Amino acid sequence: MEKEFWKPGNMLYPLPVVMVSCQEEGRRPNIITVAWTGTVCTNPPMVYISVRPERYSYGIIRSSGEFVINLTTKRLARATDFCGVRSGREIDKFEKMGLTPLESETVSAPGILESPVNIECKVAEVKELGSHHMFLAQVAGVRVDKSYMDGSGRFDLSRAEPLIYSHGEYYEAGERLGKFGYSIQKPKKERKKR
């Protein structure tokens, strides 16, 4: 196997692609599409998003200190892309994409009703890192669409048909290949013999 050496860059892939909703008091809500996002900590539950300071949503999030991460699906692919390439300075993205603002429980920014999961966030810290500033946030609440729950009360990711992003392209996530610890789990027959 032969490999090339490239200059430093972000080759981490695929990434979750999410729509982040935000709102300043007295103004219409906005949506920005973000692929620079992830989990930071379990206890307390924390996440991050990274946004360029010149983006319209950056100022809203910076001044309000709140946002909602809305997970995306195959059905939301067009809206996800649109909200990433058009500015909320000029248009109402909720209206243009036929999305429904969902009143949040813990923050003033609305979620997106059509999203299977809405993660309500409160900014804990802003790290000015370079081209992007990272909003480190504590999760204040989570809403999950009941239609994505399985018979045992667990969120069924396959029903959501999650959208992922890799180097300028969107993909639907594939099928489940295993669960945490499956690589060391003994086959059922071996477990019964003991």
Each of the 194 residues of the chain gets a pLDDT tens digit; together they read 999 988 888 888 899 999 999 999 999 999 999 999 999 999 999 999 999 999 999 999 999 999 999 999 999 999 999 999 999 999 999 999 999 999 999 999 999 999 999 999 999 999 999 999 999 999 999 999 999 999 898 988 888 889 999 989 999 987 778 888 988 888 876 555 55
Q: CA end-to-end span of the chain, whole Å?
A: 44
Say if residues 94 and 76 touch (Cβ distance below 8 Å): no
Burial of 10 (0-12, 13-18, 19+ CB in 10 A): exposed
Q: What is the pLDDT of residue 119?
A: 98
Q: Which of 72, 68, 62 is nearest to 97 (CA)?
A: 72
Q: What is the pLDDT of residue 193?
A: 52
Q: What is the pLDDT of residue 160?
A: 86
Alpha helices in the chain (DSSP H): 56-64, 77-85, 93-97, 157-160, 188-193
Locate 144 and state its tokens: 């999950």
Q: What is the pLDDT of residue 66?
A: 98
Q: Say if residue 16 is preceded by a cis peptide, omega within 30 of 0.
A: no
Question: Which architecture does CATH list for 15-193?
Answer: Roll (2.30)
Q: How far apart are CA 69 and CA 51, in angstroms?
A: 13
Q: How far apart are CA 141 and CA 158, in angstroms?
A: 23
pTM for this model (two decimals):
0.91
Residues facing residue 134 across a β-bridge: 50, 127
Detail the DSSP E strand segments found in the chain.
15-16, 18-22, 30-34, 37-41, 46-51, 66-71, 101-102, 111-112, 117-128, 133-144, 163-166, 169-172
